[in-house]
Structure 1
Amino acid sequence: MLKLALEDEEKEKTDLIKALNGLCGGLGSSEKVCGILTGGIAVIGLYAGKGEPREYYGENFQPMLSEYIDWFKEKFESTECRDIIGIQKITDENGNINYPVKCGDVLLKSYEKIQQIICKYGYEFGNRDD
């Protein structure tokens, strides 16, 4: 999710993307909370989160998070990776993560929703101050 958002801004933050790799496969390949859900929360944070100790969250930060989480639960009927993709193992015999086609579908639908939420709350998607 974050990689897509940064690409839309024509930015590259390799360290940030590396730091979030553990979200794939449901929090460290645990098949628990979906990385697309948490990745979407990170994208909202780019727009409405705080970055400095004396900074405040955007006034719509919590409503944006709530709207996304509620939509995600309703749309995919769970927040758990294993429930959403419908399999118990997402790694191959060597322990490498395999990305089922369903992950791509969830990603695209979620990314569209994130864009809608960000715009709805007055932010210009793809154009933010760092």
Structure 2
Amino acid sequence: MDDISLRLFKLSSAGFCCAQIMYKLALEDEGTCNDDLVRSAQGLCRGIADTQKTCGVLSGGIGVLGLYAAKAKNDESAHEDFAPMVQAFHEWFKTEFGSTQCATLIGVRDFHSGDQSFKPICAGIIQKAYVKVYEILLEHGYDYGNRA
């Protein structure tokens, strides 16, 4: 099992969901943690608010791009490459997986039933998307794992 797969397995086994895992991986790679950020991402999972609409992996990936290039303070603006990076990730996601909708990607699920059979599908999506976010950041000159 490669490093990302092992990390995904551990985070999923600990009860983190897709968007949270995207953030946790990024924060771990820079040697930091941000419990508030990870906590806030839980509502993005299972298709935003358990609606099975926009995939939480997509939302989480866009959020990781935002950690590097989005606006955070009154006296700053988003980096000019933020929107193109988001667009590139979004287009890649649609092409790679055929949809951005959770229900289409994993099938309609009752998340409260205890059925966890969707997790391997999500893990594959997370792994590919995480690598793509990393590649996009590198292509745009960001030092992945170092936002200082």
TM-score category (smaller protein): over 0.9
When structure 1 is superposed on structure 2, of 109-118 and 99-108 the one drifting more is: 99-108
Please give the alpha-carbon distance, in whole angstroms, between the structure 2 residues aligned to 1:97 and 1:45: 32
Aligned to 1:91: 111
Please give the alpha-carbon distance, in whole angstroms, between the structure 2 residues aligned to 1:68 and 1:6: 19
Aligned to 2:37: 16
Cα RMSD (Å) = 1.3
Please give the alpha-carbon distance, in whole angstroms, between the structure 1 residues aligned to 2:36 and 2:69: 21
Aligned to 1:39: 60
Q: Which has the higher helix share?
A: 2
Taking structure 1 as reference, are residues 54 and 9 closer, same or farther at Cα in structure 2, changes over 3 Å only?
same
| Partner deviation per Cα, 1:50-100 (whole Å, 9 max, x = no partner) | 101221111111110110000000001100001011x2115142xx68452
CA contact (8 A) 1:23 1:35 kept: yes
Aligned to 1:125: 144
Please give the alpha-carbon distance, in whole angstroms, between the structure 2 residues aligned to 1:53 and 1:128: 19
Output the amino acid matched with 1:106. I
Q: Quick check: 1:29 aligned with 2:44?
A: no
| Partner deviation per Cα, 1:19-49 (whole Å, 9 max, x = no partner) | 1111110001100000000000000000011
Matched positions, count: 126
CA contact (8 A) 1:25 1:90 kept: no
Output the amino acid matched with 1:89. R
Match among 134, 143, 147 for residue 115 of structure 1: 134
Please give the alpha-carbon distance, in whole angstroms, between the structure 2 residues aligned to 1:51 and 1:97: 38
Runs of 4+ in structure 1 over 4 Å off: none
Match among 57, 68, 75 for residue 54 of structure 1: 75
Taking structure 1 as reference, are residues 60 and 97 closer, same or farther at Cα in structure 2, changes over 3 Å only?
farther
Matched residue SS, 1:20? helix
Matched residue SS, 1:58? coil
Please give the alpha-carbon distance, in whole angstroms, between the structure 1 residues aligned to 2:101 and 2:74: 32
User: CA offset at residue 7 of structure 1?
Assistant: 0.6
Unmatched 5+ stretches in structure 1: none
Aligned to 1:106: 125
Aligned to 2:17: none
